Chains A and B, each alone.
Chain A
Amino acid sequence: MSGSRNPVVLVLIALAVLILIGSTVAIVPETRQAVIVRFGEPVRIINRYKPNETFGHTGAGIALRIPFAEQIVWIDKRIQSVEMERQQVLSTDQLRLQVDAFARYRIVNPLRMYISAGSEERVSDALRPILGSALRNELGKRPFAALLSPERGQVMNNIEAGLNRIARQYGAEVIDVRIKRADLPDGTPLQSAFQRMRTAREQEALTIRAQGEKQAQIIRAEADAAAAKVYAGSFGKDAGFYDFYRAMQAYRRTFNSQNGSETNIILSPDNVFLREFRGR
């Protein structure tokens, strides 16, 4: 029955070959770097990060190793994130600020990272407290206003430089450090800030009101002036006639019994009005 034996043997051989290939050939994806470790000793690195390389010309692809003797340690090639938990920072003018920050890093030296940390998580764990303390130190040197202002860029660069020194020991390179949130702490600082905002608004409201009143007064005065000008332009043509004309108007209004007051007039016969009364 040799016919029955051959396929089985073939399958066995195929299996063995597959296992051999599996332990010899590895596919290194673009997103990972591989450290080949021979009996615990790192011997070479495949697909190591190089700045400004284009995909397709990296070291990714097929990697060969000696089966069973060499093992592959995978290290992420992509940009990683480390987030710092909320920190309270005290500025030079004794104001408190709650700060959230994050850093982005990339493992550029997988060998060093493998020796010193072992895994990406441990790099993150190592960088996190350093990020926190670097942030506190750097922000603590500055007044509160500077933390909000565009000068934050310089602060960030300093923190990044400080963090980078440590990160390099782990084979990582810090690409970016950013403050995600910078808030006033809850409680008194926040409430007093609210109080300040409130009073500022109240002040603004009063100012607006007063300005409105001022404008209104000016408008009235201008109207008065304009009216005076119109009157003067017209009445100035003959001051004598104006005097007479206006007096007549005034008499009609003031001696008008319809406005409720009782008027008694005692006339002398010498009055001009009664001139004809005497009959001469």
Chain B
Amino acid sequence: MMKERRSFRRIAASLWRTPVNAMAQGPWGGKGGEDRPGQGGGDDAGSGAGSEGPRNPWTQPPGGGRPDRGGGAPGGRPSLIEDLLRRSREGLGSGRGDGGGPFGGGIPGGPGGRTLWPIALGIIVVLWIALTSIHRIGPQERGVVLMLGKYSRTLSPGIGLTLPAPFETVETVDVEEIRTIDVGSVANDAENLVLTGDQNIIDLAYSVRWNIRDPQQYKFQIADPDTTIREVAESAMRSVVATVSLNDALGAGRTAIEQQVEQRMQEILDGYRAGIKVQGVAIKQADPPEAVNDAFKEVSAAQQAAQTYMNEARAYAQQLNARAQGEAAAFDKVYEQYRLAPEVTRRRMYYETMEAVLADVDKTVIEAGNVTPYLPLPELRRRAKEKADAAATAPAQRAQGAQQQGGAQ
């Protein structure tokens, strides 16, 4: 590499020097008026510096300024630029002696330089060809080969061979990577409002996943693929949402919307021949706008309330049903026994009931005929009232009162 770099510099230096020298002094001469350049260096340096009064800036400095050069090196150009070149060469820190090395003779002269040129050039060319004609295409990539700007072929994963650089160039495209574009955001601050088919408004956030299906179409057909996909996604999403109702967009219809958007996007992009495959559309959020959210919550509250009413009614129904069945079963059981001995059962039940009923209550038996029937209604009322008061104050008093009443009779 060192050699190559030096030879580059040499070329560069000669290119640079040429016009400058020509301007200053004529084509190649160290001094004006000299037809044949490259006379003996020592001679040139001595006489030139001595004879000319105002020294030409492009000529070499006096011989003393170049102590490291072998005196009278063949072909030494009488040029300050060459001097600079030489110094910079020293700056590289190369250890070789200036006089002995192949480059020691200055730019054009040495026989060693002449042999090295083709070798250096050859190395450059070989490296160039190697670097620009062998391409490693990763497993997820495709290489689009352009032959002088014209599409030639697509390289599959692996090592691909092409012609060297100016003739064939390769642009690698990652076809497997799934790229994602997000539209709208889940955060509350930014709402992406979309009109639905029933003229309601919904806050949507969704993402589109896509990859490259056809590398050459992707490369050559669309000026700005990312923006295109985003715009197509927005347009497709809005046109699909505009066909569905708010309730569908909020809930049940989301999957269908995603599919339709994906399909529509694919159609539009295929219409552009964009070489893009839409892998999927995912609605991340479909909510009513913040401004009306409370009303939507009210609806779900009402749904809960309605459910509550029905639950209560069902509980009542269960209760009633169970009671009816219980009572009916009880009646059935008793009736079964009653049928076996109707008269006795009836009597027994009558007496038992009356017994239970009359045991606890005040009873007055009036013998009709002998006694004038007297019904002490005010007394009854007073007693009833007393009893109520007693019940209010203490249960013990009530028991007492009951005893008194029993005694009164």
Interface string of A1-22 (1 = CB under 8 A from B): 1011101100110010000000
Chain A residue with Cβ nearest B342: A241
| Inter-chain contact B149/A244, CB cutoff 8 Å | no
Q: Check if A262 sits within 8 Å of B306, measured CB to CB.
A: no
Q: Say whether B72 faces chain A, with CB atoms less than 8 Å apart.
A: no
Contact in complex: B366, A266 (CB < 8 Å): yes
Counting CB contacts under 8 A, is B387 at the interface?
yes
**0/1 per residue, B193-209, Cβ < 8 Å to A?**
10111011100000000
Q: Residue A115 at the B interface, CB < 8 A?
A: no
A114 contacts B by Cβ under 8 Å: no
Contact present for B149 and A79 (CB under 8 Å): no
Taking the complex as formed, is B408 at the interface, i.e. its CB lies under 8 A from any CB of chain A? Answer: no
The contact size tier of chain A is 35 or more
Residues of A within 8 A of B11 (CB): 7, 11
Do B201 and A220 have beta carbons less than 8 Å apart? no
A201 contact from B147, B150, B299, B324, Cβ within 8 A: B299
Q: How far is the CA of A43 from the CA of B317 in the complex (A)?
A: 94
B331 located at the interface, meaning its Cβ lies under 8 Å from any Cβ of chain A in the complex? yes
B125 close to A (CB within 8 Å) = no
The answer to whether the Cβ of A129 comes within 8 Å of any Cβ in the partner chain is no
What are the residues of chain A within 8 A of B146 when measuring CB–CB?
29-30
> Is the Cβ of B361 less than 8 Å from the Cβ of A264?
yes
How long is the Cα–Cα vector from A234 to B333 in the complex, in angstroms?
Answer: 10
Q: Which residues of A contact B234 (CB under 8 A)?
A: 180-181
Q: Contacts A8-B14, A202-B295: A223 and B303 contacting too (C-beta < 8 A)?
A: no
Is A154 an interface residue, CB under 8 A from the partner? no
Taking chain B's interface residues, is the majority helix, strand, or loop, or is none over half, making it mixed?
Answer: helix
Whole-angstrom distance between the Cβ of B329 and the nearest chain A Cβ: 8
Interchain CA distance A200-B288 in the complex, whole Å: 13
Interface residues of B in 337-364 (CB under 8 A from A): 338-339, 342, 346, 349-351, 353-354, 356-358, 360-364
* Nearest neighbor of B350 in chain A, beta-carbon distance: A248
Give the contact-size bracket for chain B: 35 or more
Given A197-B292, A251-B357, A274-B365, A184 and B306 touching (CB < 8 A)? no
Check A252/B201 contact, CB under 8 A, given A182-B195, A268-B366, A268-B368: no
Question: Which among A61, A204, A227 is the interface contact of B147 at CB below 8 angstroms?
Answer: A61
Q: Is B259 an interface residue (CB 8 A)?
A: no
A56→B238 CA distance, assembly (Å): 37
CB proximity of B360 to chain A, nearest CB, Å: 4
B23 within 8 A of A: no
Chain B residue numbers with a CB within 8 Å of A66 are none
The answer to the question of A178 belonging to the interface, with a C-beta cut-off of 8 Å to chain B, is yes
Nearest chain A CB to B401 CB, angstrom units? 10
Asked if A30 and B366 make an inter-chain contact with CB atoms under 8 angstroms apart, the answer reads no
Which chain A positions have C-beta within 8 A of B123? none
Give the residues in chain A near B114, CB-CB below 8 Å. 3
Q: Is the CB of A4 within 8 A of B75?
A: yes
| B140 in contact (CB, < 8 A) | no
Residue of B nearest to A95 (CB): B199
A92 interfacial contact with B, CB 8 Å: no
What residue in chain A is nearest B360 (Cβ atoms)? Answer: A257
In angstroms, Cα B289 to Cα A227, docked, is 49
Residue A69 at the B interface, CB < 8 A? no
Which segment of A134-142, A164-172, A211-219 sits at the interface? A211-219
- Give the shortest distance, in Å, between A266 (CB) and chain B (any CB): 4
CB-based contact A78/B201 at 8 Å: no
For residues 184 through 200 of chain B, which have their beta carbon under 8 Å from a beta carbon of chain A? 193, 195-197, 199-200
B328 on interface, CB distance cutoff 8 Å: yes
Contact check, B313 vs A256: say whether CB atoms are below 8 A apart. no
B272 located at the interface, meaning its Cβ lies under 8 Å from any Cβ of chain A in the complex: yes
A30 is contacted by which of B117, B150, B196, B274 (Cβ under 8 Å)? Answer: B150
With A8-B108, A198-B294, A201-B295 already in contact, 16 other A-B pairs whose C-beta atoms are closer than 8 Å: A1-B109, A62-B149, A79-B223, A80-B223, A102-B235, A148-B196, A179-B235, A180-B234, A198-B291, A198-B292, A201-B296, A215-B313, A255-B358, A264-B362, A267-B363, A273-B354
